[in-house]
Amino acid sequence: MPSLTPSLERALERALAQAAERKHEYATLEHLLLALTEDEDAAEVMTACKLDIEKLRRDLANYLDNDCASFVVEDGGQVLPTAAFQRVVQRAVLHVESSSKDEVTGANVLVSIFAERDSHAAYFLQEQDMTRYDAVNY
């Protein structure tokens, strides 16, 4: 089974930490994508695809701060990743495994987000004209 790069491990931890900072019960794809903006592999793909990373960060932060009020819990217990968050990471792992590669990178997870068509994370990427095809072919 392929391992996660240290940079991706840090991004996953950041996603959970960002959810906890906002007192969100769940870490969503949007928390994950926000964390991936600081992952060197994912950010390299975003930059190559002419994505405005700062705008993406602002859009995601605005969405998480204003549209996710129902995720807020007062006791600030343990943050859990949503099913979509878990699917995206699993899909990236399976793709890397089927490609006979050794490491899962943030770029692999970024590509996997596009399969979650109804997510705001995929919407924010597509809003800046980034496609799965662009990310895969970088």
- Report pLDDT digits (tens) over 5-31: 999 999 999 999 999 999 999 999 999
The H or E element spanning position 104 is strand 103-104
Mean pLDDT of the chain: 94
pLDDT at 104 over 90: yes
The predicted pLDDT at position 46 comes to 97
Give mean pLDDT, residues 60-87. 87
Q: Confidence band (pLDDT; 50, 70, 90) for 69?
A: confident
Q: Where are the domains of the chain?
A: 3-136
DSSP 26-62: EE-HHHHHHHHTTSHHHHHHHHHTT--HHHHHHHHHH
The predicted pLDDT at position 76 comes to 65
Contacts of residue 21, Cβ cutoff 8 Å, sequence gap at least 6: none
The predicted pLDDT at position 111 comes to 97
Q: Confidence band (pLDDT; 50, 70, 90) for 54?
A: very high
So what's the architecture of 3-136 in CATH?
Answer: Orthogonal Bundle (1.10)
| Confidence (pTM) | 0.94
The predicted pLDDT at position 115 comes to 96
The H or E element spanning position 90 is helix 83-98
